[in-house]
Amino acid sequence: MPKYDFPDDLRAAQADLLETRAAYEQYAKNLPWSAEPMPGWESDKQLHSSYRSGKADSPGYTEAQAEEVARFRARLLELSIAVSAHPFWDSVDASDRVEARMALKHAHESAEA
């Protein structure tokens, strides 16, 4: 993969995007399965198995949880726009932009090594 001279602000935005996405995914693991209160359910028994899929009742998100999810989503949108609309991409030939974008996604790995 060719080396690209990514500007520091683009690298920082990409790193922040990765970190924010990881933090959001970690936060979401502990949320109820539904944002709104919903009754639980259980499916019929699977053929030749005793397995039944289902979910317990969901209390829905608290106001604080909903605000935190909205904050994460707004930040992720802001960072996604900062990365994808960065002026650097205008300096990359259109036929190389996908390759350059993939290189940016992995640029932090070479910095860590």
8 Å CB contact between 61 and 35: yes
Model confidence at 111, pLDDT cuts 50, 70, 90, reads low
8 Å CB contact between 44 and 52: yes
pLDDT of residue 48: 80
**What whole-number distance in Å separates Cα of residue 90 and Cα of residue 86?**
8
Residue 8's closest CA among 16, 22, 21?
Answer: 16
Is the residue at 45 inside a domain? no
Which pLDDT tens digit goes with each residue over 3-44? 899 999 999 999 999 999 999 999 999 999 999 999 998 888
pLDDT of residue 113: 56
Is the residue at 105 inside a domain? yes
Which pLDDT tens digit goes with each residue over 49-82? 888 888 899 999 999 999 999 999 999 999 999 9
Is the residue at 28 inside a domain? yes
Is the residue at 40 inside a domain? no
Q: Which structural domain range is residue 72 located in?
A: 8-32+62-112
Model confidence at 45, pLDDT cuts 50, 70, 90, reads confident
Residue 76's closest CA among 30, 7, 18, 3?
Answer: 18
64 against 45, higher pLDDT: 64
Is the residue at 95 inside a domain? yes
- In this model, does residue 87 exceed pLDDT 70? yes
pLDDT of residue 35: 96
- Total domains in the chain come to 1
Is the residue at 56 inside a domain? no
pLDDT of residue 52: 81
